[in-house]
Amino acid sequence: WAAGTPSLRTHVIKLADTTEINAVVIDIKDYNGKITIPAESDIVVREGFLERRIPNIREMIADLHKRNIYVIGRITVFQDPLYARAHPERAVQKESDKSVWKDYKKLSFVDVSAREYWDYIVALSEDAYTLGFDELNFDYIRFPSDGNMKDIYYPISNDALVDDPTNGKAVALEKFFAYLAEKL
């Protein structure tokens, strides 16, 4: 919420003017799945997870650029409770009952192999680029690691593993990175 709070925005700009700070990181998609920017891509708008937290983001980025501040957008990728709830068939699930799995913080993840979700992330990234972000920081590009790992099931990744035993977690992540590189 810092980028959307006038007093905190002013503080960051003052820091930029009076210190050696040369970059800022702004959340585009946070740990709970909310989109903080005015996205325009059909796939992103259709999901409905927009929460416009940052008024006049284009102007803010332009102002930061005038001050020679590099603007990095952070996108939390596979930790996404909103998307997991809306698309449980693409979410990491409990092995025991196939409901949506949650970590110890009660947060859900999307299965790394869910290609439809990859398109969502690419579209959001393109929206961020058109707003003027200089760089994107993709965070939580991983499988879950803190929760009941004995009761966890990856509906898409597990199917890929059955089809080809060499399709492990590392391969799923490599495929996602290759997809990002190709599309972006």
Are 71 and 134 a contacting pair, CB within 8 Å? yes
- Four-CA torsion 129, 131, 134, 136, nearest 10 degrees: -50
**Which one, of 19, 9, 28, lies nearest residue 136 by Cα?**
28
Report pLDDT for 163: 63
Using DSSP, how many helices (H) and how many strands (E) does the chain show?
Answer: 7, 3
pLDDT tens-digit series, residues 70-126: 999 999 999 999 999 999 999 999 999 999 999 999 999 999 999 999 999 999 999
Are 126 and 132 a contacting pair, CB within 8 Å? no
pTM for this prediction: 0.92
